[in-house]
Amino acid sequence: MSYIQEVLKKVEDRNRDEHEFLQAVEEVFYSLEPVIEKHPEYKETSVLERIAEPERQIIFRVPWVDDNGVVHVNRGFRVQFNGAIGPYKGGLRFHPSVYVGIIKFLGFEQIFKNSLTGLPIGGGKGGSDFNPKKKSDGEIRRFCESFMTELYRHIGPDVDVPAGDIGVGSREIGYLYGQYRRIRGAFKNGVITGKGLKYGGSLARKEATGYGLLYFVEEMLKANNNSIKGKVIAISGSGNVAIYACEKATELGAKVVAMSDSAGYIYHADGINLDTVKRLKEVERKRIKEYVKEHQGSKYHEGNVWEGKFKYDIALPCSTQNDIDMERAKNIIENGAIAVGEGANMPTSNDAIKFFLKKEILLAPAKAANAGGVATSALEMVQNSMRYSWSFEEVNNKLKDIMINIHKSACEASKEYGLGYNLVAGANIAGFKKVAEAMITQGIY
């Protein structure tokens, strides 16, 4: 058994039923084999064992009252995974599938992603098994207030800075921050990011994950003598990341022909009308199937978009984890894709990642490709500290530079370890090394 396999076995024994977490750890650790060989100090100081164990996990009760006066109880989580390079940073997910294994996989990914941004932010994540679908605005507000009534004591601008993720958008962030401010009696808006522009939010944060994904994919294509211009693109999801990925892709000269939600997907050969999607999803909170009522020639299909049979050059999974398994990966290649850009966290299963790499599909891994959101959150923290705001253009330019640098770091790390152009391994290695070195320098924690 190799050293990596030994460590993985220990992680498995300790986290038996947390499949998503084990998948994330395995994906990172196997890329680190050549790094551990070259750096015996990582093994001597048990960095791998330490990095796979959260510094702190908080699990709490979230009681709330629905519109009929009935009391419900959900479970809240915050995993403060690794603070070696900065305050814990990562979003909150409200979705019925949330349990500790989901939050730990997301928090673990966040360690390496945040390191890749080059900014001083550690890894954390949180959320709840609360289902925001079909809840009234009052119910959402009461849930958020109850959630923050416990969470507030564990966070702070220099401690842990949450943000949004699935099911947590600007409305929820507003309620969460309002309750934090009420309890603390202070305007500490650096405690949460993704805020509204009127109380300390950053311009371009809403767009950042989707835009950043496209900046990264463009770099990847450029490095392979290609470009986004003229490409046909399919996207899974129709939430925050998907919408702004679609917007930037269109701006860069591509045509997006498909988008989805958890029930099905729309296909529109002429190109998706994003104004309609934005209204349906951001304002009216309706299902994606409503789109076809307004656009002749578009079609709605139930099921997963990656099982659909239609032509595209680039696949952008922007919905949730394990969206692309082996069968769907085969279908994506049969549909003609030459590149995959991961907007969601861990959207591709480990065997499908290996398959894409074997088939020489250009693969932009989530840790690198979707890091624009958290990077812009870190820029929001900078602006809050300065009590100042940058223009949209300033933030967007910084975001673009960050994405270009992440691509460069992943490329260089991959080359340094003799792996050619492998952004999956390169991102893992580059993200890991910075955190590992900070951990070693700070002693045994």
Ligand X SMILES: NC(=O)C1=CN([C@@H]2O[C@H](COP(=O)(O)OP(=O)(O)OC[C@H]3O[C@@H](n4cnc5c(N)ncnc54)[C@H](OP(=O)(O)O)[C@@H]3O)[C@@H](O)[C@H]2O)C=CC1
Ligand Y SMILES: O=C(O)CCC(=O)C(=O)O
Catalytic residues: 125
Size of the site for ligand Y (CB under 6 A): 11
Least Cβ distance, residue 443 to ligand Y (angstroms): 27
Question: Known binder of ligand: residue 89?
Answer: yes
DSSP conformation letters of 358-388: HTT-EEE-HHHHTTHHHHHHHHHHHHHHHT-
Least Cβ distance, residue 375 to ligand Y (angstroms): 8
Question: Known binder of ligand: residue 46?
Answer: no
- Judged by CB under 6 A, does residue 20 bind ligand Y? no
For residues 33 and 4, is the Cβ–Cβ distance under 8 A? yes
- Judged by CB under 6 A, does residue 402 bind ligand Y? no
- Judged by CB under 6 A, does residue 202 bind ligand X? no
Q: How many CB atoms lie within 10 A of CB 193?
A: 28
Closest residue to ligand X, based on beta-carbon distance: 239
Nearer to ligand Y, 90 or 347 (CB): 90
89 binds, among ligand X, ligand Y, none (CB under 5 to 8 A by kind): ligand Y
Question: Known binder of ligand: residue 240?
Answer: yes
Nearer to ligand Y, 308 or 347 (CB): 347
d(CA 341, CA 214): 8
Ranges within 116-175 binding ligand Y (CB under 6 A): 163, 165
For residues 314 and 217, is the Cβ–Cβ distance under 8 A? yes
Question: Known binder of ligand: residue 107?
Answer: no
Least Cβ distance, residue 377 to ligand Y (angstroms): 3
Question: Known binder of ligand: residue 376?
Answer: no
Span near ligand Y by CB under 6 A; candidates 51-59, 77-85, 304-312, 372-380: 372-380
- Judged by CB under 6 A, does residue 349 bind ligand X? no
Least Cβ distance, residue 281 to ligand Y (angstroms): 19
Among 107, 127, 167, 308, binds ligand X (CB under 6 A): 167
320 binds, among ligand Y, ligand X, none (CB under 5 to 8 A by kind): ligand X
Question: Known binder of ligand: residue 23?
Answer: no
Among 74, 377, 383, 422, binds ligand Y (CB under 6 A): 377
For 317, the 3-state DSSP assignment is strand
Nearer to ligand X, 111 or 166 (CB): 166
Mark residues 181-220: x for contact with ligand Y by CB under 6 A, - for none.
------------x---------------------------
Q: Please return the burial class of 265, using the count of CB atoms within 10 Å of its CB with bins 0-12, 13-18 and 19+.
A: buried
- Judged by CB under 6 A, does residue 374 bind ligand Y? yes
For 202, the 3-state DSSP assignment is coil
As given in the structure block, the two tokens for residue 49 are 């064992």
Angle between helix axes 3-14 and 19-31 (nearest 10 degrees) is 170
d(CA 238, CA 245): 10
| Best CA proximity match to 344, nearest among 365, 360, 361 | 365
- Judged by CB under 6 A, does residue 248 bind ligand Y? no
Question: Known binder of ligand: residue 83?
Answer: no
Overall residue count recorded for the chain in this entry: 445
What letter represents residue 385's amino acid?
Answer: S
Q: Please return the burial class of 338, using the count of CB atoms within 10 Å of its CB with bins 0-12, 13-18 and 19+.
A: middle
Least Cβ distance, residue 119 to ligand Y (angstroms): 11
Nearer to ligand Y, 91 or 201 (CB): 91
For residues 252 and 218, is the Cβ–Cβ distance under 8 A? yes
d(CA 133, CA 20): 23
In DSSP terms, 91 is beta-bridged to 163
Q: How far is CA 70 from CA 31, 136, 316, in A?
A: 49, 14, 41
Among 36, 47, 166, 256, binds ligand X (CB under 6 A): 166
344 binds, among ligand Y, ligand X, none (CB under 5 to 8 A by kind): ligand X
Q: How far is CA 189 from CA 142, 152, 198, in A?
A: 20, 12, 11
d(CA 246, CA 235): 8
Least Cβ distance, residue 263 to ligand X (angstroms): 6
Nearer to ligand Y, 47 or 374 (CB): 374
d(CA 139, CA 152): 20
238 binds, among ligand Y, ligand X, none (CB under 5 to 8 A by kind): ligand X
Q: Residue 276, CB half-sphere, CA atoms under 13 Å: how many?
A: 17
Please state the residue numbers annotated as binding site for NAD(+).
209, 240
Question: Can you give the binding site for ligand Y, defined by CB under 6 A?
Answer: 89-91, 113, 163, 165, 193, 345, 373-374, 377
Question: Can you give the binding site for ligand X, defined by CB under 6 A?
Answer: 164-167, 169, 209, 237-242, 261-263, 318-320, 343-345, 370, 373
Please state the residue numbers annotated as binding site.
89, 110, 113, 164, 209, 240, 377
